[in-house]
């Protein structure tokens, strides 16, 4: 839209110019009014009004890219989880900022956000090209909604342009078989691993551990391996592969827990502790970095015929499959 902006003061019509964007026209009109009415306002009030108009114009000039960086810094200052901040930054960089980053916050519309989300949903899944959805759109929605909600609280927006609902996280595959590994696949993956990392697969599968939790295990987390009725594994930390240097951090929220170890795993775990793990309670059961196990499996699965299952597949098997492997 292109329109001419005029201001009437004391019976005189003043032309303020031609503008192609409605918000620019409104800003020009807002800034012009105090100047035309300054003669009728006390000096202090006029200065305060001018200062307020300037500050509003500065807020309106902030782009989504500028605000996204400020928002991430805000999360860091509040003590947000470093892995969450890394995830948000990655989502913004890969999916949001290339499309909307240069636009001013006030110019981002619900239609523009809907178009962005639709474009993300339309992309095929990199992990499984035959999948009905790529799983990225919910992450984009969560990040963008959180980012713009804080912008509303800071007065940079009157209302968030994100109107799509974030779908609930599903805890099981939508299809009966989904991507849960079978006992046979778990055994094939185990045998495809290098010998010094082989224990990682049954730990993930039969104790329902995330990759970072497997790699965060220490000697002191495994107790009573000589007694099948009392053998227990404590999840107290994880290797956080998203943080610089992959440090040890607490596991995800509400994920500190103790797990009974299946009796068929005790012999292999005992051999592991006796032959490959240091004596101290803090000695790692598996070596770092976090990418080692999954990368090694992917490299060897092609050569051995082991199923190249996604990383979460083995972990889900522990909570999905009843009984023990054949």
- What pLDDT is stored for residue 311 in this prediction? 47
- Report pLDDT for 118: 92
| Mean pLDDT on 31-54 | 67
pLDDT higher than threshold 80 for residue 11: no
Q: Which residue has the higher pLDDT, 108 or 49?
A: 108
Between 6 and 71, residue with greater pLDDT: 71
Please state the domain extents for the chain: 3-60, 64-153, 183-320
pLDDT at residue 129, rounded to an integer: 76
Rounded CA gap, 120 and 280, in Å? 48
Question: What integer pLDDT is reported at residue 133 of this predicted model?
Answer: 76
- Is the pLDDT at 313 greater than 60, yes or no? no
> What's residue 312's pLDDT?
52
Instruction: Write the pLDDT tens digit of every residue in 238-284.
Output: 998 877 788 888 888 788 999 999 999 999 999 999 999 999 999 99
Confidence (pLDDT) at 291: 41
Give CATH for domain 183-320.
1.10.443.10
Strands 12-19 and 3-9: antiparallel
Position 42 scores a pLDDT of 61
Range with the poorest average pLDDT among 21-30, 134-143, 177-186: 21-30
Select the CATH number that applies to the domain covering 64-153 from these four: 1.25.40, 1.10.3470, 1.20.140, 1.10.150.
1.10.150
pLDDT mean over 106-127:
90
Per-residue pLDDT band for 177 (boundaries 50, 70, 90) equals low
pLDDT at 33: 64
Tell me, what's the pLDDT at 317? Answer: 58
Q: Is the pTM of this model over 0.75?
A: no
Q: Does residue 36 surpass a pLDDT of 70? A: no
Summarize the confidence of residues 214-234 as an average pLDDT.
95
pLDDT at 202: 94
Between 28 and 194, name the one with better pLDDT: 194
| pLDDT reported for residue 187 | 93
Task: Look at residue 71 and tell me whether its pLDDT is greater than 90.
Answer: yes
Give the lowest-confidence range in 19-23, 53-57, 163-167, 306-310: 306-310
Instruction: Summarize the confidence of residues 6-22 as an average pLDDT.
Output: 67
Q: What is the pLDDT of residue 60?
A: 84
In the chain, the percentage of residues whose pLDDT exceeds 70 is 73
């Amino acid at each position: 839209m292109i329109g001419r902006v005029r201001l009437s003061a004391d019976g005189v019509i003043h032309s303020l110019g031609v503008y192609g964007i409605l918000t620019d026209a409104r800003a020009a009109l807002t800034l012009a009014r105090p100047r035309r009415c300054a003669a009728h306002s006390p000096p202090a009030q006029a200065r305060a009004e001018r200062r307020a108009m300037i500050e509003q114009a500065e807020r309106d000039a902030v782009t989504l890219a500028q605000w996204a960086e400020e928002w991430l810094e805000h999360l860091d200052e509040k003590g947000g989880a470093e892995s969450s901040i890394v995830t948000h930054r990655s989502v913004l960089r890969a999916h949001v900022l290339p499309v909307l980053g240069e636009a001013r916050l006030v110019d981002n519309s619900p239609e523009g956000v809907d178009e962005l989300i639709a474009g993300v949903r339309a992309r095929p899944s990199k992990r499984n090209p035959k999948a009905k959805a790529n799983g990225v759109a919910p992450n984009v929605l969560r990040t963008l909604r959180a980012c713009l909600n804080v912008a509303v609280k800071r007065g940079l927006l009157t209302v968030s342009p994100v109107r799509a609902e974030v779908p609930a996280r599903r805890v099981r595959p939508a299809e009966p078989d989904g991507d849960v590994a079978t006992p046979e696949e778990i055994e094939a993956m185990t045998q495809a691993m290098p010998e010094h990392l082989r224990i990682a697969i049954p730990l993930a599968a039969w104790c329902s551990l995330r990759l970072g939790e497997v790699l965060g295990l220490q000697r002191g987390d495994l107790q009573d391996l000589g007694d099948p009725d009392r053998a227990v594994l404590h999840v107290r930390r994880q290797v956080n592969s998203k943080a610089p240097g992959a440090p040890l951090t607490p596991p995800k929220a509400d994920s500190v827990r103790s797990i009974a170890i299946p009796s068929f795993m005790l012999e292999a775990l005992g051999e592991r502790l006796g032959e490959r793990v240091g004596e101290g309670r803090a000695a790692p059961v598996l070596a770092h970095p976090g990418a080692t196990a999954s990368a090694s499996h992917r490299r060897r699965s092609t050569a051995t015929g082991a199923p190249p299952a996604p990383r979460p597949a083995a972990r889900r098997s522990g909570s999905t499959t009843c009984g023990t492997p054949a």
